[in-house]
Amino acid sequence: MGVVNYLEALKLQEKLTADRKIHKITDTLLSLQHPPTYTLGKRRTDHNLLVSEPELKAMGAELHYTERGGDITFHGPHQAVLYPIISLRDVGLGARKYVENLELTMIELASLYGVQACAGQKGETGVWVGEKKIGAIGVRISSGITSHGLAFNINPDLNYFKHIVPCGIADKEVTSLQKEAERVVPPEEVIHDQLIACFIRIFGYTDVISKDSASISSYNLEN
């Protein structure tokens, strides 16, 4: 979908989630990027935002409160975002296994570039390269239907992360695929497609339809 305003993407997720609950659509995957945006989860951990809202506006960033799980995080250009709108019942997954599959999706993508990533230890969420975070996860599950999802750092401006305690974990760095890979990574469209392919494989989808139009760009998924 290219770069999409956060609130526009949120409204689209809400519509698709409602449609999925009444079986109007099949499982759907949104692939996009956001302009500079900070989001807080439903725990409202404002103390992990280290600058004021006027300062955020001055740097051209937005702040939004959401109903997803997880702590504060940053979304911005050169970061691949996936928002799965799927029925966990239909794919036979519980919430924990669903999150583990999102982690595996990012771990597999990183491995394509020789980057050894792993899931967080000691309750830390997301995907890490050593002590540095390369991918974040924040999900919402309503009546068994998922929304929100994952954000994988391709080559974002990491300075934006200095204004928050990323995901509420102090004294940890944030990294990117470009920073960790030992070669120049391909165009972002290629990496987005590879991330989608990893997701499809790990979740076991076999029938995938790509949709692109002025109103929506998504992948309809069926097992």
Quickly count: other Cβ atoms within 10 Å of residue 33's Cβ. 21
Closest CA to 103 of 86, 125, 71, 85: 125
2 among the known binding-site residues?
no
The span from the CA of 30 to the CA of 196, in Å, is 9
Answer yes or no: is pLDDT of 217 > 60: no
Q: Cα–Cα distances in Å, from 7 out to 32, 37, 74?
A: 13, 10, 14
Answer yes or no: is pLDDT of 159 > 50: yes
The span from the CA of 60 to the CA of 3, in Å, is 15
For range 92-113, the mean pLDDT: 97
Q: How many CA atoms lie within 13 A of 170 on its CB side?
A: 4
15-72: pLDDT as tens digits: 999 999 999 999 999 999 999 998 887 766 777 777 888 888 888 888 877 778 677 7
Q: List strands edge to edge, sheet with 62-65.
A: 62-65, 37-40, 73-75
- For the record, the structure tokens of 155 come out as 């080559």
167 is catalytic: yes
The DSSP bridge partners found for residue 64 are 39
Q: What percent of the chain has pLDDT above 90? A: 65
Choose between 41 and 159: higher pLDDT. Answer: 159
The span from the CA of 38 to the CA of 194, in Å, is 25
User: What are the start-end ranges of the E strands in 55-144?
Assistant: 62-65, 73-75, 79-85, 118-119, 127-129, 132-142
136 among the known binding-site residues?
yes
Q: Are strands 132-142 and 173-174 parallel, antiparallel or unpaired?
A: parallel
For range 202-209, the mean pLDDT: 92
Q: For position 167, what pLDDT does the model report?
A: 59
Choose between 13 and 217: higher pLDDT. Answer: 13
Lowest mean pLDDT among 49-53, 86-90, 176-180: 49-53
Annotated catalytic residue, options 167, 177, 196, 198: 167
73 among the known binding-site residues?
yes
74 among the known binding-site residues?
yes
For the chain, the first-to-last Cα distance in angstroms comes to 23
Q: What is the mean pLDDT of the chain?
A: 89
Answering whether pTM is above 0.85, one says: yes
